[in-house]
Structure 1
Amino acid sequence: MLEVLTYVAIALIAAIAVTLFIASRRPDEFYAARSLKIAAPPTRLHGLINNLKLMNTWNPYALRDSGGTARYSGPDAGPGATFHFAGKSGTGSVSVTDTSPSMIGMRLLMTKPFAGDNRVEFTLKPIGDETEVTWAMKGVAGLPGKVFSLFVNCERMMARDFDEGLANLKAIAEAA
Structure 2
Amino acid sequence: MKALLKGLLYLVLLLALVCVGGGLLLPSTTHVERSISIDRPPAQVYAMLDSFKRFNEWSPWYAMEPEAKYSYSGPESGVGARMAWDGETVGRGSQQIEASAPQKIVLALEFDGSRATASYALAAEGDGTRVTWALDSDHGYNPIARWFGLLMEKMVGKDYEQGLARLKQVLENDPR
Superposed, 1:17-32 pairs within 5 Å as 17-32=17-32
Q: Secondary structure at the match of 1:15?
A: helix
Among 141, 161, 164, the residue aligned to 1:163 = 161
Unaligned runs of 5+ in 1: none
Aligned-CA RMSD value: 1.6
Letter in 1 for 2:159: D
Deviations along 1:97-137, one digit per CA (max 9) or x if unpaired, are 12112221111122x2xx32222110111111121000011
Instruction: Give the secondary-structure state (helix, strand or coil) at the position aligned to 2:53.
Output: helix
Alignment partner, residue 106 of structure 1: 107
1:137 to 112, 135, 138: 135
Deviation at 1:154, TM superposition (A): 1.2
SS of residue matched to 1:119: strand
Q: Secondary structure at the match of 1:52?
A: coil
In 2, Cα distance between equivalents of 1:19 and 1:47: 45
Identical positions, percent: 27
- 1:98/1:19 CA distance change after superposition, 3 Å: same
Moved more, 35-44 or 5-14: 5-14
Task: Name stretches of at least 5 consecutive residues in structure 2 with no aligned partner.
Answer: none
Q: Are the equivalent residues in 1 in contact too, given 2:32–2:152 (CA < 8 A)? A: no
1:38 maps to 38
In the superposition, the TM-score normalised over structure 1's length comes to 0.89
Moved more, 64-73 or 79-88: 64-73
How far is the alpha carbon of 1:62 from its aligned partner?
Answer: 3.1
AA partner of residue 102 (structure 1): Q
SS across alignment from 1:160: helix
Counterpart amino acid of 2:115? D
TM-aligned CA deviation for residue 167 of structure 1 = 0.2
1: CA distance, partners of 2:126 / 2:3: 73
